[in-house]
Amino acid sequence: MNEHQQTASKASSTNDYHQVPITEKQLTYARQIAQRSGVVLPWDAQRDRYALSRWIDRHKVAKPSGKFANYPSSKQVGFAERIARRKRTEVPHECFRDRGLMSKWIDSNL
């Protein structure tokens, strides 16, 4: 193995994630979370990508879980019903129980 390959091998085996600078998109997302939840985004978290990722994971809103978590939103249903009226058709009943199916139905009928 030549010297370049050895250096590349060593670099890939270490985790330098904390040394990579934070992205503007990541910082914007963290600020949105802080604003919505009324929490202050610590300065330390804004300087370190790993710390910012941990802060985001702790403070982001959890996705709903439970019996109705996969149901389409009321906005999805209303939009689908407007499309169906315009096309003089009906939204399939199974779409009302699965947000993924509802999304696909909407996309295919726009």
Q: How many CB atoms are located within 10 Å of the residue 2 CB? A: 7
Q: Report the alpha-carbon distance of residue 26 to residue 109 in Å, rounded.
A: 34
pLDDT, tens only, 58-96: 988 777 777 788 899 999 999 999 999 999 999 999 999
Exposure b/e, 28-61, CB count within 10 A at least 16 = b = eebeebbeeeeeebeeebbebbeebbebbeeeee
Q: Determine if the pTM surpasses 0.85.
A: no
Model pLDDT, residue 78: 95
Query: Is the model's pLDDT at 5 over the cut of 70?
Result: no
Selection from 36, 35, 37, 34 nearest residue 45 by Cα: 34
pLDDT band at 17 (very low <50, low <70, confident <90, very high): low
In this predicted structure, which of 30-34, 44-48, 89-93, 102-106 has the lowest mean pLDDT? 44-48
Distances (CA, A) of 86 to 27, 73, 76, 92, 107: 42, 20, 15, 15, 15
- Please report, rounded to a whole number, the percentage of residues in the chain having pLDDT higher than 90: 50
